[in-house]
């Protein structure tokens, strides 16, 4: 399954991010805690280069907490500060600001040595579409400043936001990259909602989600869908059992694969299957 999506406005947004980078002191890069590697834009990594940065793993309430801790340690082993947040329930938001300010300590010390009057730290917040950026910003600031939606591509323009006296925040649109070289990346992004559903076959995405659950979280499938605990060798067997159990049927008791697929994807994204991570730091496929 070859999934690609790169609207024209993303190319413009990427160039704008690059042009504004010199104006900021630290970059706050958001990644989906369920797919930390796949949800990081490799082009942004190239643009950021040596600029102080923090990785924020969003939607941590939907990810496997044990795997999230593994990812945080994975990045810290590379010298990259990483924190996780649950914006929906306002958990961990204060840690982002603390981590960003900590990353600019050298800069602030240099200002002090040179006798430069301290000013608010300028931070740029970046990430792919539908990574939870607008929700995080609104919860962080305490008012609805950024547009929120459950589909990618809501934020189209950059805007500066005040984060108290200590920080000014530059919000940017979600940006993907022109081509996903690894097909697994496209599947993971599609599963988490970073790509418009109109471009997808949700039945295939459901197979992918079930395949991950079959390997790592079979008990979650059994519990959520009330399935019999019996041997199943393929994702298709799980998928058909789920369809039957939920009544996703056509005439003649045939499985309605389209309806069942939409249901599985919707319940995964909503966290109804439980806290599930779709990739791990040292999975061969995710490397």
56 is in an annotated binding site: no
Quick one: which of 218, 186, 216 has its CA closest to 201?
186
235 in a known ligand binding site: no
Question: Helix H segments across 127-281?
Answer: 133-141, 183-192, 202-216, 218-225, 235-246, 257-269
130 is in an annotated binding site: yes
CB 243 within 8 A of CB 260: yes
Consult the annotation and say whether 12 binds a ligand: no
CA distance 205 to 184: 11
Rounded Cα–Cα distance for residues 125 and 55 (Å): 10
59 is in an annotated binding site: no
Is position 58 annotated in a ligand binding site?
Answer: no
39 is in an annotated binding site: no
Q: How many helices (H) and strands (E) does the chain have?
A: 11, 6
Contacts 24+ apart (CB under 8 A), 138-146: 139/87, 139/88, 139/90, 139/93, 140/87, 140/93, 140/96, 140/97, 146/171
Location of structure tokens 């900021």: 24
CB 102 within 8 A of CB 153: no
Count of CA atoms in the C-beta half-sphere (13 A) of 34: 29
Residue 33 and residue 273: Cα distance in Å, rounded? 16
Q: List, as residue ranges, the binding site.
A: 130-135, 174
Q: List, as residue ranges, the binding site for GTP.
A: 130-135, 174
């Amino acid at each position: 399954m070859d999934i690609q999506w790169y609207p024209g406005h993303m190319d413009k947004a990427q160039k704008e991010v690059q042009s504004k980078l010199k104006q900021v002191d630290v970059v706050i890069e958001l990644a989906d805690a369920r797919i930390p590697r796949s949800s990081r834009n490799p082009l942004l990594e190239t643009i950021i280069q040596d600029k102080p940065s923090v990785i924020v793993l969003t939607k941590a309430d939907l990810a496997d907490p044990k795997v999230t801790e593994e990812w945080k340690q994975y990045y810290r082993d590379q010298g990259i500060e990483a924190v996780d947040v649950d914006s929906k329930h306002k958990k961990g938001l204060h840690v982002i600001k603390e981590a960003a300010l900590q990353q600019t300590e050298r800069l602030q010390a240099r200002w002090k040595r040179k006798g430069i009057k301290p000013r608010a730290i300028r931070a740029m917040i970046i990430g792919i579409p539908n990574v939870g950026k607008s929700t995080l910003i609104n919860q962080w600031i305490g008012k609805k400043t950024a547009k929120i939606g459950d589909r990618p591509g809501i934020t189209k323009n950059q805007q500066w936001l005040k984060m108290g006296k200590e920080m000014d925040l530059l919000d940017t649109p979600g940006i993907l990259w022109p081509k996903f070289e690894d097909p697994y990346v496209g599947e993971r992004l599609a599963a988490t909602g970073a790509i418009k559903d109109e471009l997808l076959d949700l039945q295939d995405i459901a197979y992918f989600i079930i395949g991950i659950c079959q390997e790592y979280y079979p008990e979650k499938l059994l519990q959520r869908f009330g399935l019999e605990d019996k041997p199943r060798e393929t994702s298709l067997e799980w998928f058909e059992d789920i369809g039957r159990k939920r009544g996703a049927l056509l005439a003649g008791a045939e499985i309605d694969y389209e309806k069942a697929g939409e249901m599985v994807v919707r319940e995964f994204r909503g966290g109804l299957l439980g806290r599930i991570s779709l990739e791990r730091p040292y999975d061969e496929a995710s490397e």
